[in-house]
Amino acid sequence: MKTKQGTKEKLSKASGENTASYVARCAQLAMLLEVSAHPKPGNIDRDHDYEDTTFEHFLASSVAVYPILEEAAGIEHRIGRSVHKAVLESTAWQKGGNTHFGAFLLLFPLAMAAGKLIRNCKELTPETLTEEALNVVKETDVEDAVQIYMSFGPAGVKVRKVDEFDLSDAKAIEDIEKNCTTLFQLMEISSSYDLIAKEWTSGFTRCAECARILTKEMEGKGTFIHSGNSRINQVIVYAFLKMLAADMDTFIETKFDRHTAEEVSAKAGRIIYKLEDSGNNMGNILPEIRNFDEDLLERNINPGSTADITIGGLFISLLGGMRF
């Protein structure tokens, strides 16, 4: 997804008017589009809620954090503080628990990187953006790590127990400060089993790949034929399934077990195969996607980490000029 000339002009104009506002609006729209897309197997959308968390909780969270995103797009440091502020703002506006914590961990470094690139009049592509975002996260410090740990409680985050810096251990923050452990180092520790941590340490490669899928399909150069009027909705569902098939979902593995996560990814892979084998017509495979969705909802299995990656991909695509 190279930035086209028209998009460069838009970004130049955005830079002159209010770069931070432009970046924040792209991030906010990414969150809103992701939660609105359906049928997105297992996750909350415009047609499905969970008992304690609803579609409206996600809408409220997406709107509430706009000022924090705008602020972050104008700076290049303090990711931990930004995420912590976003969590507090989100939970002040809705009581549905953890709606966007994983997405915040992706959006804030990407937003900081995007703001820097636009302000410096540099080309904005998935490659330049993710390279700059990697630079941003590598510069995180001990205070960033402490701020993230302080966010777990308010956000209601479910975490996997680990021997080093156990997230359920009240002494974790004390150990982080004693050992001078940065947030990036914490992500390195978690990267072998956590999708979001792996994004940080690999240079946001899955978000960039998701963005390429989204942009290619929206430009009509992709693999499938959409059915009906809402192309953007079906493109998001398609990209979500592609990402779910490619990687086991951390949220599922943490909440259930590895076998369940493998099962869900394998099912997504079979649906993608059938879609491509059936002439790439989304209408032919929608009933199976809906059945997959209902099955996961009935079992309370929600691929939350894949939704976060999809948000990151949407953000990159929107920054690059994708419109619908």
> How open is the CA angle 252-254-259, to the nearest 5 degrees?
60
- Report the predicted TM-score, pTM, of the whole model to 2 decimal places: 0.91
DSSP 242-267: HHHHHS--HHHHHHS-HHHHHHHHHH
The identity of residue 175, as a single letter, is D
Place of tokens 């409220």: 60
Q: What is the pLDDT along the chain (324 residues), one digit of tens a residue?
A: 444 444 454 444 444 458 999 999 999 999 999 999 999 999 999 999 998 999 999 999 999 999 999 999 999 899 999 999 999 999 999 999 889 999 999 999 999 999 999 999 999 999 999 999 999 999 999 999 999 989 988 877 765 554 455 554 567 888 899 999 999 999 999 998 899 999 999 999 999 999 999 999 998 877 667 666 688 999 999 999 999 999 999 999 989 999 999 999 999 999 999 888 876 777 788 899 999 999 999 999 999 999 999 999 999 999 999 998
Three-class SS state of 9: helix
Place of tokens 């705008």: 70
Q: For residue 240, what are the CA distances in angstroms to 48, 54, 211, 235?
A: 17, 20, 11, 8
Distance, CA of 239 to CA of 217 (rounded, Å): 9
Three-class SS state of 205: helix
Which residue, 108, 86, 202, 228, is CA-closest to 155? 86
pLDDT digits (tens, 9 = 90+) for 124-151: 999 999 999 999 999 999 999 999 989 9
Give all strands (DSSP E) within 6-94, no chain letters: none
